[in-house]
Amino acid sequence: MQTPPQVAELFQLFTNSAIDYALYTVNTDGTIATWNYGAQRLFGYHNEEAIGHPQEILYPPDAVTRGEPEHELTAAREQGLHEAEGYRKRQDGDLLSVYTVTTALRDAEHQLTGYAVVTRNLSENRRALLELQDQKHRLKSIVVTAVDAIVIIDEMGLIESFNPAGERLFGYREDEVIGHNVNMLMPEPYATEHTGYLQRYLRTGQAKVIGIGREVQARRKDGTLFAADLAVSELHDGKLLFTGILRDITERKRMEAEILHIAEAEQRRIGQELHDDAQQQLTGLAMIARHAADSLAALVSENPHLADIVSKVDRVANGLRDTNQSLRVLARGLVPVQIEAHGLRYALSRLAEQIHETHGVECVFTATDGVDIDDNRAATHLYRITQEAVNNSLQHGAASRIAINLLHSDRRLFLEIVDNGCGLPDNHESPGRGLQIMAYRAGLIGGVLAVHRKEEGGTVVRCSLPLY
């Protein structure tokens, strides 16, 4: 039975529209009978170059030698349909990795009339797969050889990958951490808080660490704690993952603390010299100038021309007195807090008084009963944080009122500096390096610094640290 012409035309249109597939038919003698546009694109042969030629022209020579063309047609004739993956040869000689389906065509009397062949190019897919495998291999090599610990977790916080540097840093073997929650690598209270941070990020997209990086406290298998730089990024590998890169910065922190200690000692030396030498000399000069002014004033009645000299000497005496007073304030600010009974409370109270006297700004200090710091190092850093925050309020916030509060609750101490100034800029960047230095000082004593703008205006600087 012949196929109606309109059906044959429609079929030809259909096959030619399948440009991503080579669709062709083969006669029972193995020669190509029809050839679509997709076959032309894939193999490079035009219709007249393919039709009537044996299909062996599409096979590599070694495949022809092995009898693959005949084998595939025989399998299709016997089974009705034959699927295979292999290689085909383009007109220009290039080899293609392909997937083929060969179907036996039979008429109404079930007599074999030929074969239909559908061929799909796998070369691009294979190339992409090989590139992906190569990228994964390179990535794995980087992770394995990295000097920094690399920890990959899923969206539930469970560890999926733990590189050799992580094993060395934390003291765990990879099989001891895989499948466990990453909070096993954190001390309290951060371990408990981590799950909440992760879930909040998944829910709101608000990141505390992801894409930002920060300094954190980490915990080794033996329970020891260490400071680490942590950088976290998202990884999409069929599912959402998070990659954390950690570096032990204990030695860096030690050196930074030593540098800060040297700077504090130098400030103390300068402050002491100002107090013991410069202030005493200014005091002596002021007394001499005052005595000279008084002596000359007694002679003005006899010599009126001396009045102008008396006025000038009097200004010198007053200037020396005012300079001495300013120098006293400066020296007191350079000398770190000396711990005595209520040393930090006294130092902060005096600081508030000096701010009021020097700048004419309302500055008040309040403290919870029983808040005492017997660690001179911690007290000094808290005092310096207060100084920096107050200076920012005055210089950048244009505040007219500043409150310094020293509080404690639930075995934690809180230092707050609250002002009514113009508040932080929208980008929350601190003028200079003030915020960074305050945060660094807080970290040195195991504290956490937080800075935010009040809704009604002004800024709150809050440092919290545990009370032992």
b/e burial code for range 435-467 (CB count within 10 A of at least 16 → b): beebbbbbbbbebebebebeeeebbbbbbbbee
| Average pLDDT score over residue span 308-330 | 82
State whether CATH 3.90.930.12 applies to domain 342-468.
Answer: no
430 or 292, higher pLDDT: 292
Say if residue 425's pLDDT is above 70: no
What are the CA-CA distances from residue 284 to residues 47, 281, 322, 343, 419 (Å)? 113, 5, 13, 31, 40
Q: Which pLDDT does position 405 carry in this prediction?
A: 94
Please give the structure tokens belonging to residue 20: 């991503």
Q: Residue 238: what pLDDT?
A: 72
Which tokens belong to 400? 């007219």
What residues are paired with 208 via a beta bridge?
none
Sheet strands side by side (includes 401-409): 362-367, 401-409, 412-419, 459-466, 448-453
User: Hey, where are the domains in the chain?
Assistant: 5-126, 146-248, 249-335, 342-468
Q: At 467, is the pLDDT very low, low, confident or very high (cuts 50, 70, 90)?
A: confident
Q: How many CB atoms lie within 10 A of CB 119?
A: 21
Residue type present at position 342: H
Over residues 319-347, the mean pLDDT reads 70
Q: What was the pLDDT predicted at 209? A: 61
**Quick check: helix, strand or coil at residue 119?**
strand
User: Distance between terminal CA atoms of the chain?
Assistant: 98
The reply to whether 146-248 and 342-468 are identical in fold is: no
Determine contact, residues 458/397, Cβ cutoff 8 Å: yes
Model confidence pLDDT, tens digit, residues 45-70: 999 999 999 999 999 999 999 999 99
Strand ranges (DSSP E) for 21-143? 21-26, 32-35, 81-89, 95-106, 112-121
Give residue 341's pLDDT.
45
**Starting at the edge strand that comes first in sequence, how are the strands of the sheet with 159-162 ordered?**
159-162, 149-154, 240-248, 225-236, 214-219
pLDDT band at 1 (very low <50, low <70, confident <90, very high): very low
Of the two residues 88 and 140, the one the predictor is more confident about is 88
Q: Alpha-carbon torsion 300, 305, 311, 313, what sign?
A: negative
pLDDT in tens, 346-379: 889 888 988 888 888 999 999 987 777 777 778 8
With a cut of 80, say whether residue 193 has pLDDT above it. no
pLDDT at residue 430 tops 50:
no
Q: Which residue has the higher pLDDT, 210 or 11?
A: 210
pLDDT of residue 206: 63
Rounded Cα gap, residues 295 and 320, in angstroms? 18
pLDDT at 228 over 70: yes
For 254-304, write each residue's pLDDT tens digit: 887 777 777 777 776 776 667 667 767 777 788 888 888 888 888 888 888
- The residue ranking higher by pLDDT, 60 or 251, is 60
**Does pLDDT of 99 surpass 60?**
yes
- pLDDT surpasses 80 at 8: no
For 5-126, CATH gives 3.30.450.20
Average pLDDT over residues 218-245: 87
**pTM greater than the 0.75 cutoff:** no
Q: What is the mean pLDDT of the chain?
A: 82
Please tell me the number of Cα atoms within 13 Å of 2 on its side-chain side. Answer: 3
Most confident region among 4-8, 196-200, 407-411 by mean pLDDT = 407-411
Integer Cα distance of 277 and 432 in angstroms? 32
Predicted local distance difference test score (pLDDT) of residue 438:
86
Tell me phi and psi for residue 115, to 5 degrees. Answer: -140, 145
pLDDT top residue among 467 and 155: 155
pLDDT above 70 covers a percentage of the chain that reads 85
Q: Where are the beta strands (DSSP E) in 269-411?
A: 362-367, 401-409
The token duo for 115 is: 């074969």
Tell me the pLDDT band of 395, cut-offs 50, 70 and 90. confident
146-248 to CATH, choices 3.30.450.20, 3.30.360.10, 3.90.1260.10, 3.40.190.10: 3.30.450.20
